[in-house]
Amino acid sequence: MPNRIRGISVFILCAILVLLLRLAQIQLLEPESFGKHHINLLEESVKQRAQEFLLDDGRGEFYDKNGRALTGTKVPSLVLFPFLKDMDWDVEALAEILNVTPEEIEAAVRTAEKPIVFGRPLTEEEMEKINRLKIPGAFAVYKETDGKDTIAAQLIGVIGENGKLFRERYPDRSGSAKTPVGLTGLQKGFDEFLIPDENSRLVFHVDGKGDPLFGLHVRYISPANPYTPLKAIMTIDGEIQREAERIADLHKMKKGGIVLLDIETNSVLALVSRPNLDRANPFSGDGSKNFPVEAQIPGSVFKTVIAAAAIEEGIVPPDRQFDCDRPITGEGEAERKLGVLDFPASFAQSCNYTFAQLAKELAEKDKNLIEKYAERLGLLEPVGWRGDVFRLPDFRQLPDEEGGRVFLNDEERRDKNFAALTGIGQKNVRITPLAAANMMAAIARGGEKKQVRFVSEIRYADGSTMFSFPEQRMAGENISPDTAKALQKLLRGVVEKEKGTGSALNRLPAAVAGKSGTAETNRYAGEKQLLNKWFVGYFPYEKPKYALAVVNLEVFADEGSVLPIFADMVKYLHGKGS
């Protein structure tokens, strides 16, 4: 009997000890990250006895170069709490300020189970009048919008609640499964800076039935740190971005993009990707992709690389002629007969035979030459800004950006047929529209290639600067200034010459230099092959200010010309006087 009592006592003591340890775990050790699901018990306990209305998730926001908010716009709003339905309050005075009937307000409150936003956005005067009424449960506050109308949507990127990802990225940081994290685009790249410390909300304590506790006191809770949330100041101009998106939609761009760079600062002024992002299902369909930073088949745009290599390697003397009635193999007749052309005319009219032949000669001279010049023009590595930022080594502004390529392996480098097709931007050649625009900017500058900035600086909440992203050169060699000058003349010839593939752009208010491209893809609609159509260039030719790339992906041969889009952008920017 004593042994039995002793055993029961030990069991009870062990059970009490386990309970005490569990209680310590809940209340002392892991109150903000409990169990395998890392539940924030403090937050959950508050939810059980409070009604909350989120005003701002506390995440840092993006602004355009002129300081206009691109995400998280704050709208003056009227918030009504549902306990108003059980009170006598001055609904008539509120209705008079809003110019609505009292019945409309009462109906909204009567059906509400949680705090709601009522009516249209308020004016500053209306906000002051409403808050002077001091109605418990009726507050005029600034409410963050849902971002449905955000421009440059794919560039800025998507955020979402992902507790597992949050814990992987920030194991030493407090937060919950509902803390928004950057999943794509700049939101992903700048997540370390934008992740919220605390949100802003209205909190009202209730009992189990939802009735008020502690009188009718609603608390406003906001971050205590005056320096957060941080602001990411982008290089894009919101006005230009909106117009670029309008032009893309006007010309019914279904799949593709537009990239506009400021040549002097090598910064993105506008970046459009189509189709639009579906915010209800952000990872479904092509709207989830940012096509300007994805590597595409460039077609004849890549002839710019072959031209640069041929000039520097001295294989195109002024008197050299090419039979452009011949196909790229050199045997038989080409589908598009252009006659006998010199090198500048071959470039202007985009003669495939010329550049297939030159590519083979370059490969015979050195199998790595084509890739060498692609690298010198900045087409192989991602071109977005990267560098050390505080404790973040090799920080990339846009981690989703892809690099380019010329060949897949050494066998392809040694194959003459591969070299010929590579010379006209086919086979395994891939470049991004962003890199193509950056190549044009480098040529316009005299050959110097630079990294592309999307964000110029990070600011504290009070407007002071936390970090400025300097202009930076891209690593590696450049083409020579003489080669750049020769390329400038070739690119101008594409537009200026009567039979140039860009001659439709010759009567614009600003002189354009550039290169067209029509690339065959391995995709078909029925029996019709789909093509990628490009035009990349810069303007004004005499004093270059803008580099522009326009690409329409997977269109039929008789549709989707990008020249009208390019032309409309040139006309808009010239008319803008910027």
Torsion region of 525: left, alpha or beta (phi above 0 gives left; psi -120 to 50 gives alpha): beta
Residues 214 and 331 in one domain: no
Q: Would you state the structure tokens that stand for residue 469, as one six-digit string?
A: 């992203």
Across the chain, what does the average pLDDT equal? 90
| Residue 5 counted as domain residue | no
**Global confidence as pTM:** 0.87
Task: Say if CB 404 and CB 430 are below 8 A apart.
Answer: yes
Q: Which residues contact 439 (CB under 8 A, 6 or more apart)?
A: 304, 377, 378, 379, 449, 536
Query: What 3-state DSSP class applies to 374?
Result: helix
Q: Residue 42 above 70 pLDDT?
A: no
Q: Where are the alpha helices (DSSP H) in 251-351?
A: 303-312, 343-349
Q: Residue 39 above 60 pLDDT?
A: no
Check residues 144 and 176 and name the one with the higher pLDDT.
Answer: 144
CA distance 142 to 23: 40
Query: What 3-state DSSP class applies to 55?
Result: strand
Query: Quick one: pLDDT at residue 15?
Result: 72
Query: Quick one: pLDDT at residue 230?
Result: 93
Residues 404 and 308 in one domain: yes
CA distance 16 to 21: 9
Helix (H) / strand (E) element for 416: namely helix 416-423
Is 480 annotated as catalytic? no
Residues 341 and 420 in one domain: yes
Query: Quick one: pLDDT at residue 227?
Result: 84
Band of the pLDDT at 147, cuts 50, 70, 90? low
Asked which of 44-53, 264-273, 349-358, 403-412 is least confident by mean pLDDT, the reply is: 44-53
Boundary-marking domain end, from 194, 224, 254: 224
Check residues 78 and 177 and name the one with the higher pLDDT.
Answer: 78
Query: Quick one: pLDDT at residue 486?
Result: 98
| Residue 330 counted as domain residue | yes
Boundary-marking domain end, from 192, 224, 256: 224
CATH of the domain at 389: 3.40.710.10
**What Rg value do the Cα atoms of the chain yield, rounded?**
31
Give the total residue count for the chain: 578
Strand stretches in 453-539, DSSP E: 455-459, 465-468, 513-525, 528-539
Query: Quick one: pLDDT at residue 208?
Result: 57
Q: How many domains does the chain have?
A: 2
Residues 219 and 316 in one domain: no
CA distance 89 to 210: 19
Q: Would you state the structure tokens that stand for residue 70, as one six-digit string?
A: 């691109």
pLDDT, tens digit, 9 for 90 and up, residues 300-350: 999 999 999 999 999 999 999 999 999 998 888 888 999 999 999 999 999
Q: Would you state the structure tokens that stand for residue 52, as one six-digit string?
A: 């909350």
Query: Quick one: pLDDT at residue 24?
Result: 59
Q: Which amino acid is at 424?
A: I
Q: What is the dihedral of CA 567, 571, 574, 577, to 10 degrees?
A: -140
| Residue 427 counted as domain residue | yes
| Residue 441 counted as domain residue | yes
Query: Quick one: pLDDT at residue 31?
Result: 56
Torsion region of 492: left, alpha or beta (phi above 0 gives left; psi -120 to 50 gives alpha): alpha
Q: Residue 358 above 70 pLDDT?
A: yes
Catalytic residue among 300, 350, 456, 516: 300
Q: Which amino acid is at 434?
A: L
pLDDT, tens digit, 9 for 90 and up, residues 57-97: 889 999 999 999 998 788 899 999 888 888 889 999 999 99
Asked which of 172-181, 309-318, 438-447 is least confident by mean pLDDT, the reply is: 172-181
| Residue 493 counted as domain residue | yes
CA distance 51 to 216: 12
Query: Quick one: pLDDT at residue 46?
Result: 47
What DSSP letter does each residue of 308-326 carry, written as one string? HHHHHTT---TT-EEETTS
Check residues 4 and 562 and name the one with the higher pLDDT.
Answer: 562
Q: Which residues contact 251 (CB under 8 A, 6 or more apart)?
A: 564, 565, 568
Residues 206 and 314 in one domain: no
Task: For residues 486-510, give the mean pLDDT.
Answer: 97
| Residue 137 counted as domain residue | yes
* Domain that residue 355 falls in: 293-460+470-541
Residues 113 and 210 in one domain: yes
Quote the DSSP letter at residue 29: I
Asked which of 25-39, 103-117, 127-141, 554-568 is least confident by mean pLDDT, the reply is: 25-39
pLDDT, tens digit, 9 for 90 and up, residues 527-566: 899 999 999 999 999 999 999 999 999 999 999 999 999 9
Q: Residue 2 above 80 pLDDT?
A: no
| Residue 22 counted as domain residue | no
| Residue 90 counted as domain residue | yes
CA distance 51 to 35: 25
Above pLDDT 70, what percent of the chain? 90
CATH of the domain at 85: 3.90.1310.10
Above pLDDT 90, what percent of the chain? 71
